[in-house]
Structure 1
Amino acid sequence: MKKEVKAAFIATGSYIPETTIKNDAFLSHRFFEKDGSAIGKDNATIIRKFKEITGIEERRYVRPDQTASTIGYLAAKDALDSSGLDKETLDHIIVAHNFGDVQYGSNRVDLVPSLASRIKAMLGIRNPDCVAYDIAFGCPGWVEGVIQASFYIRAGAAKRCLVIGTETLSRIVDPHDRDTMLYSDGAGAAVIESTEDREEGVILAHKTQTHAVDYAELLNMGPSYDPSEKNREIFIKMNGRKLYEFALTHVPLVIKAALESAKVALADIKKVLIHQANDKMDAAILQRLFQLYGLDKSPADLMPMTISWLGNSSVATVPTLLDLIQKGRLKGHDLNKGDKVVMASVGAGMNINAVIYQF
């Protein structure tokens, strides 16, 4: 009897920008409320409360000469170099992002040609059967790219895919909005390959949902909060409180559904690699997940976090986290043969997804 085809991670890569922006860099900013009124608190207080809520102390920004496609290329090259594979054997290059290439000093998006085609060209891949395309799926975009690659592989339509998540959120933030301090830049990538020979090192199950009717506008684009700003530019905006409530209600249920599909017990999960959006929110999501199983407390090292020093780099957070662990660059965390992990994300749309993977 023919063995079932499964999808497996062969190699990972990432690019962490060189420029570190600490919280005190925002001390001179002029912040306003959504209605354009003064906040009524000094910036030192605003920044202190921001750190208490999010856990963010610093974040990374790209250099002026870099864009989402150029750092996506660097993450992709890292993954391919780590794999030792012939780049011409790739069947798909899937690039998750939300704003395309945004040049320094501007917030105008550039989506033509696609970032996937740009990165394929930078990699020098000439094989026309290597199909390159983008997906815009909010912060869960890279995880969804992994799910799409898994479908191609299991259907026999591909043997090897490169999935990249890359974003330069620093280029599309409103400097007069406190939420600006959340966002950062970065890129992560993984090579995914078909296998029939093993039960370990494969994607076991996944689950995706879109909650659009009531929640699509929790993350959107809008004008600056500065009432004197007349340039009509738009920036990323967020309803933080409602998004927090949405995530706590829905993300644990999606993870639970994926675990049930994989027939994996929560107690058997070694790590939960969750989108790094907010320290307290992620901790609350994990706590709610354990409560769904009638458990009071999760293991202290179950959910590795990078948000304190990398901020929220959208589609890049999960693949960067995975790459750091795989390459022994995240102290106190490792993954070994047989370990089962959850990879999950939530973001604009509102979209949620989860993948169960066994190393």
Structure 2
Amino acid sequence: MNYPVKAVIAATGSYIPTVKMSNEAFADHHFYDRNGLPLLQEQAVILEKFKSISGICERRYAQPDQQASDLGFLAASNALDSSGIDPESLDYIIVAHNFGDVAFGSNRVSMVPSLASRIKALLQIRNPSCVAYDLAFGCPGWLEGVIQASYYIRSGDARRCMVIGTETLSRVTDAHDRDCMLFGDGSGAVILEAADDHRGGILAHCTQTHAHEYAHLLSMQPSNAPLQADSQDIFMKMNGRKLYEFALTTVPVAIKATLDKAGVPLSAINKVLIHQANEKMDAAILQRLFKLYDMPMPADDLMPMTISWLGNSSVATIPTLLDLILKGNFDNHQIHPGDNIVFASVGAGMNVNAMVYQF
């Protein structure tokens, strides 16, 4: 029997930076609000409240001699080495990020050449038909890269694609804004390849851009600190409350649309791998999803979380989580053949996407 060509995950890889930054590392920071006024709470209170809301205890930072392309290369190498796939067989290398390479001690963005070209060069791939390009799509960028790779494979244009999510958010956050504690660095990668048998692969997906009203919920702005008033530096800023409300409104609906398109009931989902920006927000998204189906909340192991020790690493979050689970490095979580997995993300733009994948 001939089956339609579809994209399946052939390999995964990740790189988790070695520099651990606990919440206590921010104990000496001087935080200000958006009006340049110092936060009056004691630092210990600020840190404890941050932990209770975000679920974050620590995050990882890149070494001073590493940039986003270096992390992406290490994640890509991990995927190739662990699978034995020949890098010369790749038809596409798609690299999702938001800020390119940012050198330690600077917040200046370097995006020429593209990170994809830099990583291809580091991998020493000589094949000119291996097309390398970048994708800037906010935190949903890696998942959108997977969706694009699936189109290439299904159209017959490619047989094998690598999609990398890599970021050094620690270098574009304002040390005087308590939101800086949310973010970490990291990289994750997958290799998708064509399959023409009965294996599930990508069953359906949904992508939306809500730019009309919400484009500027995440943006680049000056530091909160008054002493930085004359600086030309700009940093990543977000409207946390409105972003939270936006995510709760849009992400569950996008997931439901994807499940309905795939013809997969919510009860058949084995795992939800979601971009992890805030532990309470992700829990609320899952609750809202089950409410849409008028179903009770399931067991606690449906949505594995890394945010407590990795923070929000943007495009690296989901591929890193997937790699940890598939390689048996995530306690009490496994993915088995036939399992249905929901992937979902929300971020700058404002962009939302979801995908249903069957292993």
CA offsets 1:243-270 (integer angstroms, 9 cap, x no match) = 0000000000000001011100000000
CA distance in 2, matches of 1:93, 1:286: 32
State the match for 1:19 in structure 2.
19
State the match for 1:226 in structure 2.
225
State the match for 2:351 in structure 1.
351
Q: CA deviation at 1:312?
A: 0.2
CA distance in 2, matches of 1:206, 1:177: 35
Q: CA deviation at 1:2?
A: 4.6
1:147 equivalenced with 2:158 (yes/no): no
State the match for 2:187 in structure 1.
187
TM alignment of 1:124-163, pairs within 5 A = 124-163=124-163
CA distance in 2, matches of 1:6, 1:197: 9
CA offsets 1:24-45 (integer angstroms, 9 cap, x no match) = 0101000000010121111111
Q: CA deviation at 1:198?
A: 2.1
State the match for 1:52 in structure 2.
52
CA distance in 1, matches of 2:258, 2:79: 26
CA offsets 1:31-84 (integer angstroms, 9 cap, x no match) = 000010121111111110000000000000000000000010000000111221
State the match for 1:266 in structure 2.
266
Deviates more, 1:240-249 or 1:36-45: 36-45
CA distance in 2, matches of 1:128, 1:80: 19
5+ residue gaps, structure 1: none
Equivalent residue letter for 1:61: Y
CA distance in 1, matches of 2:303, 2:356: 14
Residue 271 of structure 1 aligns to a residue in which SS?
strand
CA offsets 1:84-119 (integer angstroms, 9 cap, x no match) = 111101000000000000000000000000000000
State the match for 2:279 in structure 1.
279
CA contact (8 A) 1:61 1:185 kept: yes
CA distance in 2, matches of 1:3, 1:41: 62
CA contact (8 A) 2:56 2:311 kept: yes
CA contact (8 A) 2:345 2:354 kept: yes
CA contact (8 A) 1:286 1:298 kept: no
Instruction: Give the % identical residues.
Output: 65
State the match for 1:123 in structure 2.
123
Equivalent residue letter for 1:317: T
* Count of matched residue positions in the alignment of Structure 1 and Structure 2: 358
1:332 equivalenced with 2:337 (yes/no): no
1:35 equivalenced with 2:35 (yes/no): yes
CA contact (8 A) 1:165 1:316 kept: yes
TM alignment of 1:49-128, pairs within 5 A = 49-128=49-128
CA contact (8 A) 2:2 2:197 kept: no
Deviates more, 1:83-92 or 1:96-105: 83-92
CA contact (8 A) 1:174 1:180 kept: yes
CA contact (8 A) 2:3 2:198 kept: no
CA distance in 1, matches of 2:59, 2:227: 28
CA distance in 2, matches of 1:160, 1:83: 13
Q: CA deviation at 1:3?
A: 2.5
CA offsets 1:6-34 (integer angstroms, 9 cap, x no match) = 00000100000000000001010000000
Superposition misfits of 4+ residues, deviation over 4 angstroms: none
Residue 251 of structure 2 aligns to a residue in which SS?
helix
Equivalent residue letter for 1:60: R
CA distance in 2, matches of 1:8, 1:266: 21
Residue 205 of structure 1 aligns to a residue in which SS?
strand
Residue 211 of structure 2 aligns to a residue in which SS?
coil
CA distance in 1, matches of 2:164, 2:358: 20
**C-alpha RMSD of the superposition:** 0.7
State the match for 1:298 in structure 2.
298
CA distance in 2, matches of 1:265, 1:98: 34
- Which TM-score applies when normalising by structure 1? 0.99
Equivalent residue letter for 1:323: D
Q: CA deviation at 1:136?
A: 0.2
CA distance in 2, matches of 1:157, 1:259: 27
Residue 40 of structure 1 aligns to a residue in which SS?
coil
CA contact (8 A) 2:170 2:183 kept: yes
